Amino acid sequence: MKPDPSDAWHAEHVYFGKLLRLLQRELDVFHAGERPNYELMLDVISYLSDFADRLHHPREDVAFARLAKRCPELELALARLRQEHGVIAQAGEKLRGLLAAALDGAFVKRAEIEMAAAMYLVYYGNHIAKVVRTMPLRQLARAEDIARAARQLLATVARRSLELLAELESSSLHHSAQRLAVYLGSLAESSNGNGDGVRKVRLPETKTLIASRLDMKKETLSRLLRTLACRGLIEVNGADITLLDPAKLAEIA
């Protein structure tokens, strides 16, 4: 049984919604006065810009134009949806530039990033809701030329969605592991090692404080320590940590 093209459009919007919720979660961190995960935010906005703005929305524009001919009563609403694509793209590029600048060490006001992210979330969230209300997907799916493109897109979206979700989770964890490796390496610089290069360090603060300094949750810190221990890079005994392979730990950093 061939996949229903309308399901492809729905699957994309559901996935975009998940990414927007990830972005909203980091925006909530802003509201709490803490440092959000800029790397994760940039990954999300980059995907939405590279895939949604450059592939999904242009194909949707074609679909909207053809649907307007079939359903003249929807012409105005569909024209507004097409205009919103441009607004979303501009808002996304602005936020993307601010996040990239912040990660490069440039001085960027927190309020500026927070406002740009909030506006982007409002624009995108409202747009998706309008598309769902306005667009008769089943009718659109019956248009042969649209259906053909949608079926091809379905396979791409399904595969890329799974890949990106894994990439985002991996990216977030990878950056956290890098920060932890750098931190342990800095502690090791002031310690005395033995002839085998093994170094012992003692955590100078509680894991809660260290996790906060490294911009991660305490649970993430504990999980990363266990992971490094399982890989044979460190040995953990309470606050005492033995760096079994400082060279490989430095490669992570």
- Rounded to the nearest 10°, the torsion over CA 10, 12, 14, 20 is -150
pTM: 0.52
Contact 70, 139 (CB under 8 A): yes
CATH code of the domain containing 179: 1.10.10.10
Mean confidence (pLDDT) of the chain: 76
Is there a single domain that holds both residue 137 and residue 12?
Answer: yes
pLDDT at 49: 82
Counting the structural domains of the chain, the total is 2
Does the structure show a pLDDT above 50 at 183?
yes
Contact 169, 176 (CB under 8 A): no
Is there a single domain that holds both residue 103 and residue 181?
Answer: no
Is there a single domain that holds both residue 238 and residue 194?
Answer: yes
Distances in Å between the alpha carbon of 253 and those of 96, 100, 159, 228?
A: 25, 20, 30, 13
Q: Is residue 169 part of a domain?
A: no
Domain endpoint, select from 123, 142, 161: 142
Is there a single domain that holds both residue 125 and residue 178?
Answer: no
Q: Is residue 161 part of a domain?
A: no
Is residue 110 classed as helix, strand or coil in its secondary structure? helix
State the maximum Cα–Cα separation within the chain, in Å, rounded to a whole number. Answer: 81
Is there a single domain that holds both residue 114 and residue 189?
Answer: no
Q: Which domain holds residue 47?
A: 5-142
Judged by average pLDDT, the poorest of 98-112, 154-168, 183-197 is: 154-168
Q: Is residue 151 part of a domain?
A: no
Tokens 């610089």 map to which residue? 189
Distances in Å between the alpha carbon of 30 and those of 18, 105, 117?
A: 19, 18, 10
Q: Note the pLDDT tens digit of each residue in 47-66.
A: 888 777 777 778 778 877 87
